[in-house]
Amino acid sequence: MRGVSWPALAPWVMLTASNLFMTTAWYGHLRFKSQPLLLVMGVSWLIALPEYLLAVPANRWGSAVYSPAQLKVIQEAITLVVFVAFSALFLGQPIKLSTISGFGLIFAGVAVIFLNR
């Protein structure tokens, strides 16, 4: 990828990976409702640890290229995409038009933040 610097690309790659961990930590336990809450909390915490190890440097390196507001909306946009996929594939939840429409409005907000770069 010529012309794309690591500080510009890092947040997208690393925040996607971190969101996979965080979504699993926050919502994965819903498939295991018969397990004790303290157990799933402990497992979730261990799953979430790599999220921090990815998100902190992603934002540090990304701050060389993006504003804090831009980094936040990158993270939120990635979170929505990861959540929809996770919810459908792992939790078996249908993707509803209302969900896609609502997330589309949030993506419009992302576009507004990036228009004023």
Q: Please tell me the pTM assigned to this model.
A: 0.82
Domain contains 58: yes
Domain contains 32: yes
Range of the domain at 52: 6-115
**Count of domains forming the chain:** 1
Report which of 5, 1, 23 is spatially closest to residue 81, judged by C-alpha positions. 23
pLDDT at 93: 92
Write the CA distances from 117 to 70, 71, 92, integer angstroms: 9, 12, 38
- As to burial, measured by CB atoms within 10 angstroms (0-12 exposed, 13-18 middle, 19+ buried), residue 99 is middle
pLDDT at 114: 80
Question: Rg for the chain (alpha carbons), in Å?
Answer: 16
pLDDT at 2: 67
Domain contains 92: yes
Domain contains 93: yes
Domain contains 88: yes
Domain contains 83: yes
Over the chain (117 residues), the average pLDDT of each successive run of 10 is 81 96 93 95 94 95 93 90 93 91 86 77
Domain contains 1: no
Q: In terms of C-beta distances under 8 Å and separation of at least 24 residues, what long-range contacts does 5-10 make, across chains too? A: 5/65, 6/61, 7/61, 7/62, 7/64, 7/65, 8/62, 8/65, 8/66, 10/57, 10/58, 10/61, 10/62
